[in-house]
Amino acid sequence: MKPYFYIAGIFIIAVLFSSCSPDNTDNANQAQNQKQQDVSTIVPPRQEENLQSHGTLAPEEELITLFFSLIDQKQIPEAIALMSKTAVPDDSTKQAWGVQFNAITSINILDMEAWDETNWTDNQKVYKVSLEAYVKDDPSAPIPNYGWGDNPNIRWIGLIKEDGQWKIDSISTGP
């Protein structure tokens, strides 16, 4: 009889240890890990740090962050898709923006702040964005480095609500 007790004891211990394996995680941990992976595929680590230091972003700020993250990751068509119909009314304009965005080797948001909130409407807003941008030297560019200079580069990002969604309507060097 004693051998059966030893075998049963070993079996019980094995079952207890197997239930403690790292493969058994609860759904909350899995969901959190998936969320972190999703953010890291969209937002580069440096911009992710900036987001965390600013706390929760408004939907408009999330759009601006996503826009520049896509450019940084060379997902240019996806970035252009976030622009308004006014900003990219036709294929030639999309192509012109694409050439400019492809010249950017790296771009990161350093700071972002609401601009001239007294003139905001439910459908239009402007943000002042400080960017760290590096651009390929292109002698055929219409203006040197497509207007990107020494860092930081300040841009005013005009947003417009189009079909219920915020879109990038303008990118300018002044308000």
Count of other CB atoms within 10 angstroms of residue 32: 12
pLDDT at 102: 94
133: nearest Cα among 170, 157, 108, 100: 108
Q: Return the beta strands (E) in 48-164 as ranges.
A: 104-115, 124-135, 153-162
Instruction: Report all structural domains of the chain as residue ranges with CATH numbers, in order of start.
Output: 44-172 (3.10.450.100)
Q: Provide the pLDDT for residue 160.
A: 98
DSSP 74: T
Contact at 8 Å (CB) between 112 and 127? Answer: yes
**How many angstroms separate the CA atoms of 57 and 50, rounded?**
11
Q: What is the mean pLDDT of residues 69-90?
A: 98
pLDDT above 60: residue 21? no
pLDDT tens-digit profile of 88-118?
A: 999 999 999 999 999 999 999 999 999 999 9
